[in-house]
Structure 1
Amino acid sequence: MSQTPLLEIHDLNKSYPVGRSGIFGKKMMQVLRDVSLTVQPGEVLGLVGESGSGKSTIGKAVLRLIPSQSGAMRFDGQDLNTLAPEALRALRKEMQIIFQDPYASLDPRKSIRAVLAEALDTHQLHLGPAREGRLRELMGLVGLNPSFLDRLPHEFSGGQRQRIGIARALAVEPRFIVCDEAVSALDVSIQAQVLNLLADLRAKTGISLLFISHDLSVVRYISDRVMVLYLGRVMEVGPADEIHFAPKHPYTAALISAEPSLHHDGRRIRLTGEIPSPLSPPSGCVFRSRCPYAQDACAQSVPPLRTVGAGHQTACLRDDIL
């Protein structure tokens, strides 16, 4: 893979105002805290964590669907925070998204032909006689019969709708796609079909993916590297197999322990309590209030990401627990 990242994010922060304004202004809920990541051309980076960890917020911020509070974001060398509206509109051809809900993400009044053509019209692609060939090609690319182009979304199953969503994302030939819980709403057997489809498309086109999921086993299957988030902070990042089989952070190990398996090695980590509110996160390491290995030092300062292997980093002070 190239050493020049396609996507670079440095110290991304995002907060939302909550409640009513008082004499000191609105209270802010911080959902991302100093998140940094890179995605290489042709790479799949998996984002995993519990609900509320900030995974989808990262994807939306990258695509400029929501503004970030602070931090640098660059795509192919272009500063995403300072792009003018016209330049951002042109760049959207290179950056697409596959939404979580295959039922809500398609307009029920539009045929599949109209759904796919809308993306092509927006960027003035495959105009005139070339349009029909491109629409049929997209349907074949995601394993659907081109004769289905004139059907409405309600005539398709959930898995088929998600394939249409993938075809829509691919229509403008992007280099990068955010997959926001793209298989979580599907049955397990259909999940496998869609994951295999994404893996095949990545092999054929060299596209880069930011694959967001709460399921670590799904993320491991499709990702080259995995980043683990908890309460808006990065806990661990590294090669997918290393993260799964040799985690270095207690939170990652707890996620793996929670997976149904016949082959756990006995080192199960059961978390107690609920994830803290982003309005009042714990001091120091945000995971310490649920960590069975927490020490007094964990409350004193935020542990930085440190290298524990080739391309493997963890935000934990201890080396003696896993």
Structure 2
Amino acid sequence: MTGLNPQPLLQVKGLNKSFPTGKQGIFRRQMMQVLRDVELYVNHGEVLGLVGESGSGKSTIGKAVLRLLDIDSGSVTFDGHDIHTIDRETLRGLRKDMQIIFQDPYASLDPRKTIHAVLSEALDTHQLHTGNARQPRLLELMNMVGLDPSFLSRKPHEFSGGQRQRIGIARALAVEPKFIVADEAVSALDVSIQAQILNLLADLRAKTGISILFISHDLSVVRFISDRVMVLYLGRVMEVGPADEIHFAPKHPYTAALVSAEPSLGEQRERIHLTGEIASPLNPPSGCVFRTRCPFALDECAAIVPELRDMPDGRQKACIRDDIL
């Protein structure tokens, strides 16, 4: 689903991010590069799924696009503003339009506060729905996420994990944002509760037109809610395309391996087994970062860093081979 605005709401170009490690080199502390030349965009009203193994850099992207951490190079443009170069006052005005749903519904809510106070805090920060308009807005938010409005007087420890995540979603929606980062928002929940939260997010997107960057290590979860999917491996983008096409006809060997590992009911797939573990960002492979686990790697894959290139069907992939998949 895309909006009428021809310009993406969020556009990321050439994003690089490193973190210092505890190890010392000859002259200075070693740096671990977590993101490498990442490019992505999210259209108005669109859900972009971001999937990859642990350590691939997914959460770092989520924090970078919200300017919750600084970047080494590149640009993050949100609603026409480069958020890493604008002044803090301008950024403060944009914060209302950019919100986050955290992974852990148990740790993301202040246990000392009632739900009324949790939701009011978000509104107070941006001076929204003040005075007599406050209570109707809180009741509306509770109804939006499928919770009884009488729960406003309760504290987080009185709720289940799924209910707490609904409260987290209500908090993110309270200020009527244009864009939400959902960072592993269902990974801490039971499978049946995951489905409820995913359906809730899908319904809210349909009703509000909000854009979402949905981050998960689970490709089947990402496919359920996303319009497009971006596959990340060791800080590099491997493939981008429509969710169903990524699932039914992956073009990159890594994506194909992820798809083949998904549980399936009656759908026959040939399992692609990857050897070894994901390499350390401190010592990534030369050339294609996936080559050390790729069943289709060639000798030249050790020397060539594949660019993310456009395919004839409109998708993108970072692989030098066109004779596979």
1:7 aligned to which of 5, 10, 13: 10
Contact 2:34/2:235, CA 8 A, preserved across alignment:
yes
Q: Is the 8 A contact 1:12 1:34 kept in 2?
A: yes
Q: Mind listing any 5+ residue stretches in structure 2 that lack a counterpart?
A: none
Q: How many residues align?
A: 322
Q: Pick closer, same or farther for the CA change 1:167–1:266 going to 2, 3 Å.
A: closer
How many angstroms apart in 1 are the aligned matches of 2:268 and 2:320? 24
Separation in 2, partners of 1:23, 1:296 = 32
2:159 matched to which residue of 1? Answer: 156
Task: Tell me if 1:244 matches 2:247.
Answer: yes
* Residues 1:96 and 2:92 are matched in the alignment: no
Letter in 2 for 1:275: I
Match of 2:205 in 1: 202
8 Å CA contact 2:260, 2:269 repeated in 1: no
**Aligned-residue offset at 1:150:** 0.5
Counterpart AA for 1:297: E
Q: What is the DSSP-based 3-state SS (H/G/I as helix, E as strand, rest coil) of the residue aligned with 1:267?
A: coil
CA distance in 2, matches of 1:153, 1:117: 15
The equivalent residue for 1:270 is 273
Q: Which AA in structure 2 matches 1:130?
A: A
Map of 1:177 onto structure 2: 180
**Aligned partners of 2:16 and 2:36 also within 8 Å:** yes
Gaps of 5+ in 1: none
Q: Tell whether the 8 Å contact from 2:13 to 2:38 is kept in structure 1 after alignment.
A: yes
| Structure 1: distance between partners of 2:11 and 2:25 | 37
Deviation of 1:266 (Å): 4.1
TM-score by length of 2: 0.97
Amino acid at match of 1:217: S
- Give how far 1:121 is off: 0.2
Residue 264 of structure 1: CA displacement?
A: 4.7
CA contact (8 A) 1:257 1:264 kept: no
Residue aligned with 2:112, SS: coil
Residues 253-309 of structure 1, C-alpha deviations (whole Å, 9 max, x = no match): 101111122445342210010100000100010000000110011111110112224
Amino acid at match of 1:149: L
Judging changes above 3 Å, is the alpha-carbon distance between structure 1 residues 117 and 188 closer, same or farther for their aligned structure 2 residues?
Answer: same
The correspondence of residues 31-42 of structure 1 with structure 2, limited to 5 A, is: 31-42=34-45
| Aligned twin of 2:216 | 213
Q: Distance in 2 between matches of 1:296 and 1:304?
A: 17
After TM superposition, the runs of 4+ consecutive aligned structure 1 residues lying more than 3 A away are: 20-23, 262-266
Q: In structure 1, what is the Cα distance between the partners aligned to 2:46 and 2:70?
A: 25
In 2, Cα distance between equivalents of 1:157 and 1:266: 37
> Residues of 1 paired with 2:69 and 2:258: CA distance?
28
CA distance in 1 between partners of 2:278 and 2:228 (Å): 25
CA contact (8 A) 1:235 1:249 kept: yes
2:313 is aligned to 310
CA–CA distance in structure 2, aligned partners of residues 105 and 308 of structure 1: 41
Per the TM alignment, residue 310 of structure 1 is displaced from its structure 2 partner at its CA by 3.4
The change in CA–CA distance for 1:50 and 1:156 in structure 2 (over 3 A counts) is same
Query: CA offsets per residue over residues 80-110 of structure 1, 9 Å max, x none?
Result: 1111111111111000000000000000000
Equivalent residue number for residue 122 of structure 2: 119
**TM-fit CA distance, 1:190:** 0.6
Percent identity over the alignment is: 76
Cα distance in 2 for partners of 1:80, 1:302 equals: 29
Give the 3-state SS of the residue equivalent to 1:276 in structure 2. Answer: coil
Which of 300, 303, 306 lines up with 2:303 in the alignment? 300
Mean alpha-carbon deviation: is it higher for 255-264 or for 161-170? Answer: 255-264
2:235 is aligned with 1:232: yes
- Tell me the residue number matched to 1:85: 88
Equivalent-residue separation in structure 1 for 2:81 and 2:324 (angstroms)? 42
Contact 1:179 1:210 in 2 (8 A): yes
The structure 1 residue matched to 2:55, chosen from 43, 52, 57, is: 52
CA distance in 2, matches of 1:80, 1:263: 47
Q: Matches of 1:212 and 1:311 in 2, distance apart?
A: 22
Q: Secondary structure at the match of 1:92?
A: helix
